[in-house]
Chain A
Amino acid sequence: MQVNGEFKPKIVAFCCNWCSYAGADLAGNNRLNYPAEVKIIRIPCSCRLNPMFILRAFQRGADGVILCGCHPGDCHYTTGNYYARRRMTLLFSMLDYLGIERERTRVEWVSAAEGAKFAATMNDFVQTVTKLGENRRLEDLRCKK
């Protein structure tokens, strides 16, 4: 999205309820700033993230999608993030294979205690996606203004 001639990416962050969503809350508690372009969707576990949701986000105009979950081994549901890790690895690889910029998607493990990491991750991700510019390769023009 262009705001006053400046590109502001749309970022969808899927956060698992137990670690990363709480980590995002902690970032808030500690007043750690990160760009407002990041909007968080709460999911119970990183393994709830269906690849269809990621593609849907891109279709609807997202420029970057990030999944945050508990660190491997710390999943609230024991093994959810291990499955998420494989699914996302393969999906990202496929997107890359189709020539879609590989930096538009990311997975980061953020625990409930890592408010600072959450903010830093979001800052970095927004910066990366801003550099890439608007998502053109996986866009649905019908959904663009």
Chain B
Amino acid sequence: MQEVKQKAIELLQSGKVQRVLGWKTGEFFYDLTPAVFETVEEIKKDFVFSPFCGANLSKYLIAESRKEGKIAAFLKPCDSYSFVQLLKEHRIVRENVHVVGVQCNGMCDIEAIKAQGVKGVTAVRQEGETLVCETLYGEKSVPYAAALSERCKTCKSKKIVLFDELLGENGEDDPDCGRFDLVSKLEAMTAEERFAFWQQELSRCIRCNACRNVCPACSCEKCVFDNDTLGTANKAAANSFEEQNFHIIRAFHVAGRCTDCGECSRVCPQHIPLHLLNRKFIKDTNELYGEYQAGADLETRPPLVDFTQDDCEPSVVYTRGGNGK
């Protein structure tokens, strides 16, 4: 962890970069904020890399890479996929970014810790496989694995797909991560059960747009749901239709572009498992059109802007996947 901070200082000191994109300390141990550091002093004071650096930094590079000078960005495996996807879509000026790949053992989530019944947590320390939490009500222990963010429990890849330099070892894809298990489980349900499941989940949506605004694939200049002239603007989730509409279209718009970084679900204040929508598209495209991982490279055509003459017909839906009768 110190190594990362040291690298940030070194890069800035050497003049290789003028700014550093990383994470800044908060009031607590867990409320870290993405931040741009311009001086060594700032870094020494506030730069932090810890198991609570969940935020994906790639999206900030859309704006940051267009500013004067070069910026160093610390990217975790997940973030690196998003970075490559954004490069592919010409959203980032590559030459202005110095990518430092940082390995990640899975990021923790304060809400996961609290879900273990730990209240008023003010500090935390790792002891082997255990997290010891200091709370307003005394010390409590939580297994490290239980503190992991939901998405990190089914991490698809520890590979940093693109970097200018790497801290630590590069990892590999994990095809057996089981990230589609929940999707399969849903597919195996009846249509009624699925409908009930999604109604219950989506009905909590408050249309705060956190999922959209954090999403590296949602980098439109103006979202169709904010666009008054297009006639598609939709500010409030007035009813279940608009909840469905927003999330279906958003998932569709990022289909083939979503790298499955899981930020949407992480930031949802209502804990809607939004990643299950994106993963459905990923699972479908993998099964129907061949394996495709957005952000894995700069060349492969995304499945929705590609085709083969013998693609399956849409009627495949009537017979495929879970027996939804």
Contacts and interface: CB of A to CB of B under 8 A. Distances in A.
Contact of A140 (B193, B196, B242, B321): B242
Chain A interface helix/strand/loop/mixed: helix
B244 interface: yes
A57 to B, nearest CB: 12
Interface in B262-299: 277, 280-281, 284-285, 288-289
Chain B interface helix/strand/loop/mixed: helix
A3 interface: no
Interface string B228-272: 000010000011011011001101100100000000000000000
Contacts of B277: 94, 97
Contacts of B198: 98-99
Contacts of B317: 89, 92-93, 96, 102
Contacts of A105: 314
Interface in B291-325: 303-309, 311-318, 320-321, 324
Contact of B245 (A55, A91, A99): A55
A27 B320 CA distance: 32
A101 B314 contact: no
A103 B321 contact: no
A66 B309 CA distance: 21
B238 A142 contact: yes
Contact of A94 (B199, B224, B280): B280
Interface residues of A, number: 38
Interface stretch (A10-18, A34-42, A77-85, A110-118): A77-85
Contact of B195 (A88, A99, A139): A99
A16 to B, nearest CB: 15
Contact of B193 (A59, A91, A95, A99): A99
Contacts of B193: 99
B192 interface: yes
A130 B268 CA distance: 38
Given A93-B321, A101-B191, A103-B318, A139 B241 contact: yes
Interface of B: 186-187, 191-199, 224, 232, 238-239, 241-242, 244-245, 248-249, 251-252, 255, 277, 280-281, 284-285, 288-289, 303-309, 311-318, 320-321, 324
6 contacts: A72-B311, A86-B303, A90-B285, A97-B186, A98-B195, A140-B241
